[in-house]
Amino acid sequence: MTTGFKLVGVEGVEATSTKEAQQALNKALTRPEIGIVIMSETFFSDSSIREEVDKIRQERATPLIIAVPGSSGQANEMPLSAIISKILGIKV
């Protein structure tokens, strides 16, 4: 997922564990220029991250935090490329 974003000039961090995802989210929250955080549903479904995201959404207007299906997402969901295109407003 991060490779696709990098190709269109959007910075990203690739997390391979829940702990790394939590650290990346915390780092993103310290940077006021970040307006959107996109994370895999795999990490978003972790209760500790989900609780933090819910708290952030209640307390802050930005960043917008969105979960997108990972490579193991359900087959009937929108393809990842379509989600990215919709979020960024460009065709990927």
Q: What is the pLDDT along the chain (92 residues), one digit of tens a residue?
A: 777 777 888 888 888 888 998 999 999 999 988 888 888 888 888 888 888 888 888 888 888 888 887 655 554 466 667 766 766 677 66
Q: What is the pTM of this model?
A: 0.67
Contact 49, 21 (CB under 8 A): yes
DSSP conformation letters of 1-66: -HHHHHHTT------SSHHHHHHHHHHHHT-TT--EEEEEHHHHTSHHHHHHHHHHHHH-S-SEEE
Contact between residue 92 and residue 4 where contact means Cβ atoms under 8 Å apart = yes
Q: Can you read off the two tokens belonging to residue 83? A: 């989600």
